[in-house]
Structure 1
């Protein structure tokens, strides 16, 4: 008899393996071995993504896209791994090992899914490059539905994410005494940042943060002769990144500005098949579905530009604990998420037959 997967044991094992961006290999091979032991055909692809394919193959392809990596401890601090009083603690408990584990467990229980369930644990989601997701867009045919594995809470369904444009500004000035009246690099950099901050002021969530582009100064260093800034702009839906970059370039003169990464905002509708499937599943398990949009980014931003198909993000966990020093998820929350995910997958083929818009 093929052993069943122990959901809590699987997640605890995942948390016990540190997998910061760039060091996901041990976790990927651990999961491959766990899935092989359960009789499931998993592999690790050319860039290090974990890939599980199951189902009958005759019907729609549903991609469940989670990620293996976590934020680095030097950024967010360590979280000791422990299981205590029905709660699992550890880096990635929320972002996003419990969503990925839930996807693997739900898919493992649906080997007769009328179509293809493709579960991917991508590498590098916590980086600007998102190499795992970009690799999928270049190597996979478009699925019919994408579900992104990110924490929404077991009764939440995420419809979209803001975009992101990260730029580096650099300016160099001739060497001169600080008392000389000519332009100084650090002063020019400060003027550039002031222009950006005034154009994109901070707004609180009550003012519709999702629909406003905001700017954050990530790094600043400079002298009288040379200065450099790194700026993160979280862009609202409908933002033209080329026009925004052109505006920044105008304010940068005599310095230069270049984009280091750019992904557009993405937002779907409640009427799509996956949104309807998850809403029904939440109700079936005793909850009230809550539709959300997020001010951060995810691999949804990456794949949506290549695959114009309906997408949602779903996963157990409280997203306010992303990257937190007390990152944790309750076993009850996690197991309920697996139930909802499974019920939604069961409903999807029938809903796809009836159509639906993105």
Structure 2
């Protein structure tokens, strides 16, 4: 699994091997979805400086690899892009503030730092690190490019905030659904419902399917109305639907259409839910490392979606998500990372990589 290296990069002066300097450099490289080039340059420079062969692939992903290639392949996948909205980068009170500090440049910086530690110690196998583009978009083009262009690794760690002592077992799936209803032009005094009214009725008709978002459960579908535009003749809407494991998007879509009085829902994009078991080798390696660092690991499932969903569609390999940060701060105006947690997560991840490699090698030993 050799990453394509399209260009050579020299590390910038502000991206020393210091993990705190790396995090700051990534945060200062603004990278909303579709404009990740500056952050990719920082990531590749940091990987290169740490002894990891790296470059930028055709999708714009920063990809690096290190190791002998004679043992198992472990892939670490974080993402470069953030939601829009700048937050001035600053360090105060042991915290680093900036857009993407939690989601998910902090986890990516931890992966890059751990890869550097692995490169220094030596690794019997191959460790691949990827900072991908477009994770915050429904299409997730960076992860799709990896999925299509790389052989599945022997194990996969996704860089998303779990808290330094947490491990994420799974994420709900996602359906990007569009709705449209059209009615003939008529006078406003006509008793027939307008397109706007029909759209409101359609949303209300879905309540038995999705309920409310309060206490959103992992094992049932939920929906958020993210876009609405209407006049008397035409109404359009977009729904962000989150689905549990085992949910068939086409079956759910048909149920939605059966319930509305008029108009049609159309599926624009979907990824299935994904969930690892507690006995998964990646989960075991991460939880064992958390325990060695003095805490009881917390296993979690998330009602959001990540590139674990995208890659898990066809990569039937051990996987879990891990990274520093409080996910409640995702996308918010106060997004920040506690530096002590960030530094501890690097140690946890580094030990977990070595432990996972040893377990995978033992499994494949004749």
TM-score normalized with structure 1 length: 0.93
Aligned runs of 1:211-290 on 2, under 5 Å?
A: 211-252=219-260, 254-290=262-298
For the pair 1:325 / 2:337, whether they are aligned, the reply is: no
CA deviations 1:275-294 (Å, max 9, x no partner) are: 11011100111111010000
Aligned to 1:153: 163
Task: Using the TM superposition, name which of 80-89 and 332-341 deviates more.
Answer: 80-89
What secondary structure does 1:257 align onto?
strand
Aligned to 1:291: 299
Conservation of the 8 A alpha-carbon contact between 1:57 and 1:114: yes
Aligned to 1:129: 139
Aligned pairs, how many? 349
Shift of 1:203: 5.0
Among residues 93, 106, 112, which one is paired with 1:98 in the alignment? Answer: 106
For the pair 1:193 / 2:203, whether they are aligned, the reply is: yes
Aligned runs of 1:172-191 on 2, under 5 Å?
A: 172-191=182-201
Conservation of the 8 A alpha-carbon contact between 2:71 and 2:361: no
Shift of 1:253: 5.8
Counterpart Cα distance in 2 of 1:129 and 1:253: 30
Counterpart Cα distance in 2 of 1:114 and 1:18: 35
Aligned to 1:109: 117
Shift of 1:216: 1.2
Counterpart Cα distance in 1 of 2:52 and 2:274: 33
Shift of 1:4: 7.2
Aligned runs of 1:49-128 on 2, under 5 Å?
A: 49-73=61-85, 78-111=86-119, 112-128=122-138
- Change in 2 beyond 3 A, CA 1:293/1:14: same
Shift of 1:350: 2.3
Aligned to 1:302: 310
Counterpart Cα distance in 1 of 2:360 and 2:16: 29
Counterpart Cα distance in 2 of 1:350 and 1:152: 24
Conservation of the 8 A alpha-carbon contact between 2:209 and 2:221: no
Counterpart Cα distance in 2 of 1:327 and 1:227: 35
Task: Using the TM superposition, name which of 142-151 and 346-355 deviates more.
Answer: 346-355
CA deviations 1:154-191 (Å, max 9, x no partner) are: 00000000111121100111111121233421122111
Conservation of the 8 A alpha-carbon contact between 2:16 and 2:46: no
Among residues 21, 27, 30, which one is paired with 2:42 in the alignment? Answer: 30
What secondary structure does 1:119 align onto?
strand
Counterpart Cα distance in 2 of 1:4 and 1:58: 30
What secondary structure does 1:292 align onto?
strand
Conservation of the 8 A alpha-carbon contact between 1:164 and 1:233: yes
Q: Cα RMSD over matched residues?
A: 1.8
For the pair 1:346 / 2:354, whether they are aligned, the reply is: yes
Counterpart Cα distance in 1 of 2:107 and 2:229: 38
What secondary structure does 1:217 align onto?
strand
CA deviations 1:60-100 (Å, max 9, x no partner) are: 11110000001101xxxx32101123211111111101100
Counterpart Cα distance in 1 of 2:337 and 2:47: 23
- Change in 2 beyond 3 A, CA 1:268/1:39: closer
Aligned to 1:15: 27
Runs of 4+ in 1 over 3 A off after TM superposition: 251-254, 353-356
Counterpart Cα distance in 2 of 1:244 and 1:193: 15
Shift of 1:238: 1.6
Counterpart Cα distance in 2 of 1:222 and 1:329: 41
Counterpart Cα distance in 2 of 1:35 and 1:156: 25
Conservation of the 8 A alpha-carbon contact between 2:51 and 2:116: no
